[in-house]
Amino acid sequence: MPTTTPSVQLTNPKHPHAGPPPRGIIAKLRALTPRHPVRWEHSLRLAKQQTIALMREGRSSGFTPIELITKLPRIRIEYSTDQQIAHASFWDVHSRQWVISLRRADSWKRHRIYLAHEFKRVLDHGRASSLYPSPSVRSSACEAERAADYFARHLLVPDQLLRQALRTGLTEIGDLANHFAVPDDVIQERLHDERVLTGSAHQGSLVRRAA
């Protein structure tokens, strides 16, 4: 049975904030979506623009991005003990809320990345045909999933903060993962996004940047 009681710490309880999150965040982020069909590269640029806008809203209100998502009145987080898939989202017509359902057994780092992923799916609802145009429904669905992954890892591991961490000497994959509170594979994907290479002779260690 699902429950809304968190099984993991998605947010920092010591993080100070002044009050409730600003209203209309979902509408603001959706307003960035073009009405006409766009190319895949533009869809990824939109995903990054939405992460930047969400982080800006967080900074102005004193919330981290994940706190913002979990505290939005239109979002409800549930944790399921018998859920087969790791994460899902749907609209609850009775409570008029988006429900993000997470598998309780997964780690708290996975919960954070899955939460951000599903929030992007909420933002894309009703816009998939213009964001991910494809003659194949399966191809369009795959692109939507890839874009949600891209959104999630850029939200939790922003460009500027990743580069700052690298400059300060955080070079181990595991150390970076702990620093950003995400799974190791998310850091590896972000390093790939930033054209950073890892050496097979130094498993889990950052050895050089690509030229």
**Cβ atoms of 152 and 116 closer than 8 Å:** yes
The burial of 2, by beta-carbon neighbours within 10 Å (0-12 exposed, 13-18 middle, 19 or more buried), is given as middle
Q: Give the pLDDT band (50/70/90) at residue 21.
A: low
Q: Residue 86, Cα to own-chain centre: how many angstroms?
A: 14
Q: Give the pLDDT band (50/70/90) at residue 158.
A: very high
Report the distance separating Cα 157 and Cα 181, nearest Å. 9
Q: Give the pLDDT band (50/70/90) at residue 200.
A: very low
What phi and psi values does residue 106 have, to the nearest 5 degrees? -75, 160
pLDDT tens-digit series, residues 98-129: 999 999 999 999 999 999 999 999 999 988 88
pTM: 0.83
Q: Give the pLDDT band (50/70/90) at residue 194.
A: confident
Average pLDDT over residues 183-201: 75
pLDDT at 8 over 50: no
pLDDT tens-digit series, residues 37-93: 899 999 999 999 999 999 988 876 677 888 889 989 999 999 999 888 999 999 999
**Of residues 22 and 177, more confidently modeled:** 177
pLDDT at 23 over 50: yes
